[in-house]
Amino acid sequence: MSNILHTYVPKVKYKNIQGKPYVTVSARGISNGLSDTYNDGADFGPDTLLGATSPNQYGPPYTQTVGVQEAINYVFNQGGGEIFFKKGIYDFTNSPIINISASQTKIYIPANTSDTTINIAMIGEGIAGGFWEETNANASSGDVLFVDRTTTIYGKYGVLFYVSGANFGFGLENNVNLYLDKIHFKMSLASNAAAVGIDTAGRSIIGKLYIETDQPSTGSGSSLISRGGLYLSTGDTSVYNSADTIYIQGYQYGLHVGGHTHIGHLILQNIGYGILPDTLYGSGYIVDISKLTVQSLYGALIYNPNSTQFGINIDTLDIGDGISGSIPLINDAGNLSARITYHYNGGTTPSPSNLTVGSSSSYELIPVAVSDMYQSSTNGTTAGTVVMRMVKNSTQYKKYIIIFSGYENDTTTNQTISYPLPFNSYAVISANNTGLTISATTSGITITAPNSTTTYSGIVIVEGY
């Protein structure tokens, strides 16, 4: 297990699907009274004929999924393509429950039984001010929203991108690659359903994905859906998932992951357990997260009760409020390797002493208090200030931006300023536009005295490990 964290898992960039259909879906149409145009000008929507096999087929009888399932089926049957969702609320409250193998869902991607890979992209329109500005899933002006307001428990998933068919757990045999971007899901507490299940897809690539419940984003932990917010599994260690930004709120289990996965920024809010390995889909994979932000956590950040063998890298973990010092970062029965650099607010540090560990486990945990990340204001020898800001901290790379504001030293004595957190072995200055002569060591910088009344402003960047 000691080498599992050092295996490089590359990111995949989504490329336009060439030679495949591009269709649009709208949540507005004549049938629901939100538009005086069929499907609001889109190919599919609430006016779509139930079971339509091509765009622009209109009911009655009308679709039971706002045209979403018909759009997916059409693109799938064409061998793949891109589905673009216009702004609006796509409400599946009254959509029928579909039984797929051992799961229940309301929207799904069929299993691909052919030898030809199918690529499907599902992309939301987003909003003018940026994806994260829209936080109200009851406002029709928001991003593409898959909303479930059901008041009865109906099953496991709200939306299931399920492609495994009978070959449960063998991702490459399904030959479906899925791309999601700017999609927003909201689930009701009463539904007791996971929001998204991406089970054993060939490969999943996510841009921005927002998952929340109808409960407050902070609370006591008593109003959580008792399932996982997102199931993200390839079921095969020879392929990998990648994501830019994922937000999950209001679930007992945040992210179930199976297979190599890279995430740029994972945000967990009001969560019981943050990250769990999916034991149905093998072991020996790596989860690499550039930044993980967590607030209001009640169980453990990483939870491995079944001794699944997997590794996790977290370059920067920001721990916010709503997390007591008794909450462990890791609760592991064994076989987990972890390397985490974590920042925390307040005076209580989530401590390795609280960890439940297995004898075969290996952890490298680096705590950094938020207050330690800044040297608030070091006065210049005569005038001005120097602010040190650590912007990157891992075991193999550290980076400081040092800001000089009106710095003055009219003496002949050099000034030395220590870093809030020293480098391990090497430190070099990679940029300096202050006009000052500055040298760097692993413990701090030394500013050569200019011995003048000139003032200096600018930045210095120091990098190393």
What span, in angstroms and rounded, lies between the C-alpha atoms of 366 and 156?
37
The pLDDT value given to residue 381 = 96
**Range name among 159-168, 175-184, 237-246, 330-339 with the lowest pLDDT average:** 159-168
Integer angstrom CA distances of residue 114 from 73, 75, 76, 155, 200: 15, 15, 12, 29, 16
Mean pLDDT rounded to a whole number for the chain:
76
**Range name among 2-11, 36-45, 168-177, 332-341 with the lowest pLDDT average:** 2-11
Q: Which residues contact 130 (CB under 8 A, 6 or more apart)?
A: none
Q: Which among 256, 254, 257 has a CA at the least distance from the CA of 269?
A: 254
Taking 80 as the threshold, does the pLDDT of residue 209 lie above it? yes
Structure tokens belonging to residue 278: 């999916």
| pLDDT tens string 91-101 | 777 777 777 66
**pTM for the model:** 0.72
Length of the chain: 465
CB 247 within 8 A of CB 210: yes
290's enclosing H/E stretch is strand 285-304
CB 424 within 8 A of CB 390: no
CB 22 within 8 A of CB 39: no
Percent of the chain with pLDDT over 70: 73
Most confidently modeled range among 121-125, 201-205, 213-217? 121-125
> What is 380-464's CATH number, 2.60.120, 3.40.50, 2.60.40, 2.130.10?
2.60.40
> Can you tell me the mean pLDDT for 149-163?
36
The pLDDT value given to residue 166 = 23
- DSSP structure class, residue 256: E
**Range name among 82-86, 198-202, 353-357, 381-385 with the lowest pLDDT average:** 353-357
